[in-house]
Structure 1
Amino acid sequence: MEYALDLKQFWKRAYGYEINSKSSCILFHDMFTDSVCSSSGQKVTEAVTIQVGHAETLLPLLALLGFFKDSEPLTSINYASQTQRSFRTSRMLPYAANFILVLYDCGGGDIRLQPLVNEQPVAFPGVTDRQESMPLYGDVRRHYEELLKGCDFETVCELFKNPAEV
């Protein structure tokens, strides 16, 4: 039963199709606004920013950031090889799931960013390894540089206009 739900969410809201996570682009940009913290070490101007949503909002955002992505996509025929998968919606999105980004000013312009999923530290995929869950803020911005260039919904929607091409 768990795999059936994971399979559905994988293809409907996560890694199954690239367009699934594109809906979270604006939310992604809200997390990295220069009013929160600039890569030059500008002081934090807000103590906390809270945005509330549902699992249907959180899952595409986690996928856009690359969290819980396995090397193989989930399919109806690879259940046996997916027993150790990271993509488990029952763990990622329990009731009252949350995603938190914590900024740490370590002095001397050394600003770090720690992601937490359901209050548990996780590593930014492709930025840090499992040992280091608090990379430099600038390193995170560089990793997501392409996403930070903007949300071009016109181009994205044009790419997926013809369902036969998907």
Structure 2
Amino acid sequence: NIKAGRGGIKSYLMFAHAETLVPLLTLLGLYVDGFKLTADTPLSVREKRAFRSSQITPMASNLLLVVYKCRTGRKGATYRVRALHNERTVALPVCQGSLDCPLETLLSEYASPSASCGFEAHCECRGPE
């Protein structure tokens, strides 16, 4: 609606459980640690990791994507998106450190996440034997 210039909807709300929110946060590239967590990972490293499910998806966890319409004079408008996770602004990695990002950047990055997934490479698929 926003790109087509239709006014109508001012908010679009969806609700889900933590089991749905965690994969979405992962897809967005949030809370990524630079190491593989194993039983041998030192406590000092484990305590500082970014991906802590009890903190990123507590009771009533939420993710908000706010779209801003920015007027640019005669050229019309541009759109920017800001992400808030649990009421705190977060920088999406695709936005390269900026707290808000051009809508076009998000649309091109996440247009079809399953296309680059490589399902067959990650999952062993066998038909009935």
Q: What TM-score bracket applies, with the shorter chain setting the length? A: 0.7 to 0.9
C-alpha distance in 2, partners of 1:44/1:150?
28
Query: Is 2:82 the partner of 1:114?
Result: yes
Tell me the residue number matched to 2:32: 69
Unaligned runs of 5+ in 1: 1-34
Q: Write 1 or 2 for the structure with the bigger share of strand.
A: 2
C-alpha distance in 2, partners of 1:79/1:141?
39
CA spacing shift, 1:162–1:77, aligned 2, 3 Å:
farther
Give the structure-2-normalised TM-score. Answer: 0.78
Name the amino acid aligned to 2:107: R
Bigger CA radius of gyration: 2
Structure 1 vs Structure 2: percent identity of aligned residues? Answer: 28
**Equivalent runs, 1:1-166 vs 2, <5 Å:** 35=1, 37-38=2-3, 42-43=5-6, 45-80=8-43, 81-108=45-72, 109-129=77-97, 132-142=98-108, 144=109, 147-149=110-112, 151=114, 156=119, 158-159=120-121, 160-161=123-124
Name the amino acid aligned to 1:98: N
Alpha-carbon distance, 1:161 to partner = 2.1
Alpha-carbon distance, 1:74 to partner = 1.7
Give the structure-1-normalised TM-score. Answer: 0.62
Unaligned runs of 5+ in 2: none
User: Across the two proteins, how many residue pairs are aligned to each other?
Assistant: 118
Q: Write 1 or 2 for the structure with the bigger share of helix.
A: 1
